[in-house]
Amino acid sequence: MKLEASISSIEEVLNRDSDPSLGQVLKKKKLELSSFRNERVKGALIRCRFLQLKDMDAPSSFFFNLERSVAQRKQMTCLQLPGGRVTTSPGEMRSHAMVFYADLFGAQQCSMQSREELLEGLPQLSLDEKAALDCELTLEELKAAVNQMATGKAPGIDGLSTDFYKHFWNTIGPDLHECLVKTGAGLSRPVPVQRGIRQGCPISGQLYTLAIEPLLCRVRARLSGLLLPGSLSVERPIVVSAYADDVNIFVCSQKDVQCLQDALSLYERATSARVNWAKSEALLVGQWRGKAVPSLPGGLEWGKEGLKVLGVFWGSEGFVKKNWEGVKEKVCARLSRWTWLLPQLSNRGRVLVANNLVASTLWHKLIAIVPPRGLMEDVQRTIVDFFWSGRHWVRASVLYLPVAEGGQGLVDIQSRIASFRLQTAQKLLYKCGPSWLDTARLLLRRAGRLGYDKQLFLLRTEDVDLNGLTSFYNSVLQAWQVLQYSRDVKETPGMWLFEEPLFFNNFLGTRTLQSASLRASLREAGCTKLGHLMKMTAISVDVLRVRSNITSSRLIDRVVKEVCAALGPPQRTLVENRSLCEQWSDGWEYSFPSLTITPSVGEWQEEAGQLLSFSTPQLGKFQDAGKKELYYTCIKVLNIRFLAELKESRWTEFFGPDASRKGSWRSLYKLPVEKRAADLQWRIVHGAIATNRYRAHIDPELGEGSPPTVRIVHSGQACNVEEERYSERVYTIREGETLELQCLVTGHPRPQSSASSAFFFHPLFFFSTFSSLLRLQFFVSLES
């Protein structure tokens, strides 16, 4: 910027030679720069919907950098015209841009015959509905839509509410009905929009889905697709996977490629949409020995390493590692933009930066793939170091707890990953018909050669050989260990009962099946579920005896009796029903039983006065558990060994059990208390005081002894040396009002007043002003 450069040059001159006149010029230019920056802040606040700087905790260099880069990209200095001539005239550039976009957004003639062929067999609108949708959007329709919007809402990024649009519609309505193209710093004439969808339009996603669905339906109907080996869904091969404009087609022969080309050609004639082959990729999967590899259209070549789908690299082990290249460096770089501002940021602001601007960029990939060992731990340490500015006053596990339970709500990446995996388990067990369910079940059946998929969540996994599972589903089952489940034995039985696993299942606990050799024989015979056992022994136990090479019929008969005896009366009646047993089919989809979940805490028991509590969140049925409840449960379980021995307050032993702040942590960050004052009291309640002991922990060269530093309280312990000097624990606030030490630390009880009892006392508000009124640094070291 020229103004900043001018200030720098004047300062360099003043460093060499003192000139009073230049000093006045420098002062004037600095005032101009300050005024400019204030205006930029105001503009930034308006665009970010903030009224004051304190609403966003503090200004950020990241915030300004975004504005600067966007503003620079909007400046168009020149434009090359179709004839090759380059113009710098704003008028010529706007005129050419208007012609270009009018042609781009203009309607194009399509083949009606191709359109009818493409839509053949698909649900279609009536003639009246079609005519209503094909006509142009009128100003009256826009007005009706605005009047139907809820009050108090802001439909656009400008922050203006619907009440504003309703009130001034007669003035601004016609302008909103037209489309203008902004070129450089000016606006062109209105451009009619007759085709395409716009980025940022609320219904663009739905419109694109409707537009591309005819093509996807035609592809599904004509391609043979891919049938995974061992898949039970013979009638549903994988043909296409589509999300928005990211479409993946599965082909297995040259015929499939030709059918795909025909479908794309028909779609192009019907809609004028074309495939950009330059941005398309192809991946060759599997063994093609002795088979002709299909040739691809558009000059597309087969790759063998992997593909990037929806921003994630999939493929070989080396190709998948690309997902994590430079992740830690990007996190550090983004956090470094806030380093200069850390002294002005409160704890809540630091958490906002870490959670919303940094950690959130990791979730997209962490939902789908498992990160390399140690990477997320390094990122977590970086985030915690950022929060504490390198000085860790309170252990990290406390920071992860929600504010209402004495923490700061700082993100715990490992707990977030575990909650993602539990959400995957929820969808796998209870959602009906997700497109990936068949593939997931196929991958789960590779565990231990047992043929179990959903049944794995009912087993004692510590006894199960999980070799053969992919790293992702292995992590899903590991996250499942965060929870304990119980089943209602009185629950109405369903056909799932025949799906119950025979092995490692507490629901069918039998002594006989504890034999490893017997389990191996039954597994080789394909008898791993209750339905298998009842079907094979329905007529005679000899059928199973022959298949399993078990010589003793009495052993098989004992297994059947023990399994039936382990069931309740309703379940036993159902499983012995020969007709229902014959109806059951291995591989069909049956409703998974309802599970009541609780945190897996081992031998830990909650005691009064502890910081860690599992009274919240309230968990019930697994299928009903919310994302937030699962996340907070994962935090507490995964960090239980760090939180188990912590007291809710380091002052409990000093003041007694009445000093506990349980249930009132949230009040620390409520108005009128400023966040920085709340941060200080939060630290004090946790016992993080700048005594010699804490200072020695940060700076090893500092000793822990009292001299030469005087301390009134040593981390919640009375100091005998200073007992006589500071035995009086009642402090005068104002004339006629006193405050005990306990109230100063924990915020209660209210101060004693000899004057009127109507004086309203907010302990946090007092604490924020106490040091400024009395200049008494009570909890920091006092120089002797």
306: in domain: no
Is the pLDDT reported for residue 733 higher than 80? no
Is the pLDDT reported for residue 340 higher than 70? yes
589 and 656 both lie in a single domain: no
Is the pLDDT reported for residue 418 higher than 90? yes
572 and 666 both lie in a single domain: no
Is-contact 46 31, C-beta < 8 A? Answer: no
- Whole-model pTM over 0.85: no
pLDDT at 698: 56
Q: Looking at this protein, which amino acid is placed at residue 200?
A: G
Is the pLDDT reported for residue 575 higher than 60? yes
How many CB atoms are closer than 10 A to CB 516?
9
Give how many domains the chain has, as a whole number.
3
Closest to 625 in 3D by CA, of 656, 594, 670: 594
Distance CA 734, CA 717 (A): 28
Is-contact 293 302, C-beta < 8 A? Answer: yes
Structure tokens at 691: 């005594």
What are the backbone dihedrals phi and psi of residue 253, each rounded to the nearest 5 degrees, phi first?
-160, 170
Q: Looking at this protein, which amino acid is placed at residue 379?
A: V
pLDDT at 244: 79
pLDDT at 67: 33
656 and 776 both lie in a single domain: yes
Tens of pLDDT, residue by residue over 194-229, are 777 776 677 788 888 888 999 999 999 999 888 877
Is the pLDDT reported for residue 15 higher than 90? no
Among residues 593, 608, 639, the one where a domain terminates is 593
Among residues 544, 565, 593, the one where a domain terminates is 593
Strands 182-183 and 86-87: unpaired
Structural domain harbouring 583: 488-593
707: in domain: yes
504: in domain: yes
Tens of pLDDT, residue by residue over 636-655, are 999 999 999 888 887 777 66
Tens of pLDDT, residue by residue over 539-563, are 788 888 888 888 888 899 999 999 9
pLDDT at 235: 58
Greater pLDDT, 94 or 640: 640
pLDDT at 356: 87
763 and 666 both lie in a single domain: yes
Tens of pLDDT, residue by residue over 398-414, are 999 999 999 999 999 99
718: in domain: yes
Tens of pLDDT, residue by residue over 214-269, are 999 999 999 988 887 766 655 578 899 888 788 999 999 999 999 999 999 999 99
Strands 282-283 and 302-303: parallel
How high is the mean pLDDT of the chain? 79
What are the backbone dihedrals phi and psi of residue 528, each rounded to the nearest 5 degrees, phi first?
-120, -10
Among residues 39, 56, 73, the one where a domain terminates is 56
For residue 293, the 8-state DSSP code is P
Q: Looking at this protein, which amino acid is placed at residue 240?
A: V
729: in domain: yes
C-alpha atoms less than 13 angstroms from C-alpha of 332 in its C-beta half-sphere: 10
Identify the residue whose tokens are 């006894």: 463
575 and 661 both lie in a single domain: no
pLDDT at 40: 64
Is-contact 45 54, C-beta < 8 A? Answer: no
| Mean pLDDT of the 372-391 span | 93
Is the pLDDT reported for residue 767 higher than 50? no
Tens of pLDDT, residue by residue over 522-540, are 999 989 999 999 988 887 8
Per DSSP, what are the bridge partners of residue 248?
241
Tens of pLDDT, residue by residue over 288-332, are 887 889 999 988 999 989 999 999 999 999 999 999 999 999 999
Is the pLDDT reported for residue 708 higher than 50? no
pLDDT at 539: 78
Confidence of residue 669 (pLDDT cuts 50, 70, 90): confident
Greater pLDDT, 158 or 443: 443
Confidence of residue 43 (pLDDT cuts 50, 70, 90): low
Is the pLDDT reported for residue 723 higher than 60? no
675 and 573 both lie in a single domain: no
- For every residue of 418-472, DSSP letters joined together read HHHHHHHHHHHHH-S--TTHHHHHHHHTTGGGS--SGGGGGS-GGGS--TT--HH
587 and 664 both lie in a single domain: no
576: in domain: yes
| Mean pLDDT of the 656-673 span | 72
First to last CA, the chain: 51
pLDDT at 291: 84
Distance CA 481, CA 478 (A): 5
Is the pLDDT reported for residue 621 higher than 90? yes
Q: Which of 269-283, 669-683, 737-751 has the highest mean pLDDT?
A: 269-283
Is the pLDDT reported for residue 387 higher than 80? yes
pLDDT at 44: 55
**DSSP run (H or E) holding 739:** strand 737-740
589 and 673 both lie in a single domain: no
Torsion of CA 69, 70, 72, 78, to 10 degrees: 140
406: in domain: no
374: in domain: no
Q: Looking at this protein, which amino acid is placed at residue 174?
A: P
pLDDT at 30: 82
Per the rule left: phi > 0, alpha: psi between -120 and 50, beta: everything else, 160 is beta
Q: Looking at this protein, which amino acid is placed at residue 476?
A: V
Closest to 424 in 3D by CA, of 226, 625, 633: 625
Distance CA 255, CA 251 (A): 9
